[in-house]
């Protein structure tokens, strides 16, 4: 029974690590996509670089904030 509990705990630990590591992908890709979208908006409206920088930092801060919230909730659950 103890071996089963240990295996389950290791599985949960690896699962948590995998989920948190996926956030690295989100923190990198999402700001790049919004950076490009902001660049397109700036070219369309002639407001360079305001939308590009605004959307980039919005995506970056949102991604980091959501990651922190997820990590903190998982830390409390451990």
pLDDT digits (tens, 9 = 90+) for 17-66: 888 788 888 899 999 999 999 999 999 999 999 999 999 999 999 999 99
What beta strand segments (E) does 1-78 contain? none
CA atoms within 13 A on the CB side of 19: 15
SS3 state of residue 49: coil
Establish whether the linkage from the previous residue to 49 is cis, with ω within 30° of 0. yes
pLDDT of residue 78: 61
Question: What pTM was estimated for this model as a whole?
Answer: 0.76
Smallest CA-to-CA distance from 60 within 26, 11, 20 is with 26
Six token digits for residue 54: 């605004």
Q: What is the reported pLDDT for 2?
A: 72
What is the per-residue pLDDT for 77?
66
Quick one: pLDDT at residue 23? 87
Instruction: Specify the pLDDT at position 1.
Output: 62
């Amino acid at each position: 029974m103890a071996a089963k509990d240990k295996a389950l705990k290791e599985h949960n630990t690896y699962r948590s690590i995998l989920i948190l590591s996926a956030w690295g992908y989100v923190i990198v890709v999402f700001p790049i996509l919004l950076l490009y979208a902001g660049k397109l908006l700036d070219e369309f409206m002639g407001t360079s670089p305001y939308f590009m920088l605004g959307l980039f930092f919005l995506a970056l801060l949102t991604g980091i904030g959501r990651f922190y919230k997820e990590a903190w909730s998982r830390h409390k659950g451990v």
